Amino acid sequence: MIAEENFIDLLVAGCDAGIRYDERLEQDMIAVPIGPRTQRFTTSAAPAYLDRHGQPRHPRDLLGHACVRGRFPSGVMIPWEFERDGEVVRVDTTGPLLVSIGGGVDLAIDAAIAGVGILWLFEDWVRPHFESGVLEPVLEPWWQNFSGPFLYYPGRRLVPAPLRAFIDYIKTPAGHW
């Protein structure tokens, strides 16, 4: 489900590490689970948007909707992916707003709440907006589950102190998300 572009490399304070959404790494790398072990991407929209444009019933219906999209710093935009009863559907959405994945998430959420279009984002990030009623789930039976992220780093050399401190923190009960 998660494309190769969905990982983050970290070169902070001399640490050669990163975050990926699967454990497939080179042989000399170590993977430490971080964050929720199961995650989902959701699609959602403001009630006013859905009143004006209708509720999509199938992921391909998104082609007729305005969608708030994200782009990786590399310029890559991954298709939105859905699954139901073994049917996998990938949709290259279009829309009036394109945000940077990472820094543009708040803008994307605010735009969806304002009725700009349909949003595809991590469930944990939009759940409070479902609970408040400013966003409604869209295509919920099609949302895919996938494994949560892993911190990865080389296992063949001394782990730098800042990275070691971070690893120790995320392994403590207080550090688990």
Q: What is the pLDDT of residue 3?
A: 42
* pLDDT surpasses 80 at 32: no
Question: What torsion, rounded to 10 degrees, do the Cα atoms 172, 146, 31, 12 define?
Answer: -80
Instruction: Tell me where in the chain the CATH 3.40.190.10 domain(s) lie.
Output: 8-37+148-175
pLDDT for 6 equals 40
* CB-CB contact of 131 with 44 (8 Å): no
Nearest to 62 by CA among 103, 33, 90: 90
Please write the tens of the pLDDT for every residue from 140-175.
Answer: 999 988 777 777 777 756 777 777 777 777 777 655
pLDDT in tens, 43-100: 999 999 999 999 999 999 999 999 999 887 778 888 999 999 989 999 999 998 888 7
Give the CATH number of domain 8-37+148-175.
3.40.190.10
CATH 3.40.190.290 location in the chain: 39-145
CA Rg value for the chain: 18
Whole-angstrom CA distances from 161 to 14, 155, 169 are 10, 14, 12
* Nearest CA-CA partner of 3 in 93, 72, 54: 72
> Rounded to an integer, what distance in angstroms lies between the CA atom of residue 79 and that of residue 89?
9
Are 33 and 161 contacting, i.e. CB atoms less than 8 angstroms apart?
Answer: no
- In tens, the pLDDT along 103-123 reads 778 899 999 999 999 999 889
3-state secondary structure the chain: CCCCCCCEEEEECCEEEEEECCCCCCCCEEEEECCCCEEEEEEEECHHHHHHHCCCCCHHHHHHCCEEEEECCCCCCCCEEEEECCEEEEECCCCCEEEECCCCHHHHHHHHHCCCCEEEEEHHHHHHHHHHCCCEEECHHHCCEEECCEEEEECCCCCCHHHHHHHHHHCCHHHCC
Q: Say which CATH topology domain 39-145 has.
A: D-Maltodextrin-Binding Protein; domain 2 (3.40.190)
